[in-house]
């Protein structure tokens, strides 16, 4: 094999490692900075980030009141189906964000469970804001008069229906205190207001912690009207009446 004096120098150059800084200097960056290539990448990245933020804020299902983000209170509402009614002023909600438009009720994997076992730890406990219904018997305490009628009315009004809850805060029992609306005969009804008008609840009276949104005056007018018309619990004799607040004070409970 012939030997040339310059061959060893060329081979040495080929085998010599290329420095990283030199490879950067030799890279043609115009391909990456070309608007025709850069703009689609920016658009795709922005779309992915925006889509994820939208999902977290509007389409992610919230299984319990304790998991509601702090920024949601007083700013957001929850849409879902009522799965059970436990008392005259509270119930359980299965959150279905986006409703039927997001596939709830018809898309595979997006159904509201019906079995109690399936619903365990998957519902938000809602407390109606601004109203107080007669107390059922629990914790060894007797029930108040009209407590069953209040429960029956609320059950017939909202059970298995889709409602929207405008949430204010989480109370000491891990319930979301909320003004709740339901559609009845195509009309949007405030559930708490209707309870007051029917005489199955009173305006919530407490020194602190009462929540009404901007509806307190409207609620008080509804209670006054129910008293005047002797609706529901107001139909009996005044001397036999004990408000839910007075009952709770007497029994030493706060709900």
Catalytic residues, which ones? Answer: 127, 135, 175
Question: Residue 123 burial by CB count (10 A; 0-12/13-18/19+): exposed, middle or buried?
Answer: buried
Contacts of 241 (CB under 8 A, 6+ apart): 233, 234
> Which of helix, strand or coil describes residue 202?
strand
Which residues, in sequence order, are bridge partners of residue 138? 141
Q: What is the greatest pairwise CA distance in the chain?
A: 125
Q: Please state whether beta strands 202-203 and 131-132 pair in parallel, antiparallel, or not at all (unpaired).
A: antiparallel
Alpha carbons 176 and 128: distance in angstroms, whole number = 8
Tokens of 153: 């009315």
Tokens of 163: 């409602």
DSSP secondary structure letter of residue 27: S
């Amino acid at each position: 094999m012939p030997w040339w004096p310059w061959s060893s120098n060329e081979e040495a150059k080929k085998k010599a490692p290329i420095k990283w800084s030199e490879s950067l200097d030799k890279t043609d960056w115009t391909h990456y900075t070309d608007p025709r290539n850069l703009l689609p990448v920016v658009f795709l990245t922005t779309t992915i980030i925006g889509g994820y933020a939208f999902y977290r804020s509007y389409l992610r299902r919230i299984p319990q009141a304790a998991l509601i983000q702090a920024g949601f209170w007083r700013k957001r509402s929850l849409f879902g189906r009522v799965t059970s009614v436990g008392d005259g002023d509270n119930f359980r909600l299965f959150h279905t964000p986006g409703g039927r438009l997001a596939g709830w009720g018809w898309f595979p994997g997006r159904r509201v469970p019906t079995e109690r076992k399936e619903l365990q730890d998957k519902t938000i406990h809602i407390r109606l804001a601004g109203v107080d219904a007669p107390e059922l018997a629990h914790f060894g305490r007797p029930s108040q008069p009209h407590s069953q009628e209040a429960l029956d009315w609320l059950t017939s009004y909202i059970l298995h229906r889709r409602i929207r809850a405008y949430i204010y805060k989480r109370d000491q029992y891990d319930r979301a205190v909320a003004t709740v609306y339901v559609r009845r005969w195509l009309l949007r009804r405030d559930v708490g207001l209707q309870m007051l008008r029917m005489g199955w609840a009173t305006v919530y009276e407490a020194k602190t912690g009462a929540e009404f949104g901007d509806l307190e005056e409207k609620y008080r007018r509804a209670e006054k009207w129910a008293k005047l018309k002797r609706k529901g619990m107001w139909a009996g004799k005044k001397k036999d009446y004990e408000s839910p607040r007075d009952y709770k004070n007497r029994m030493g409970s706060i709900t």
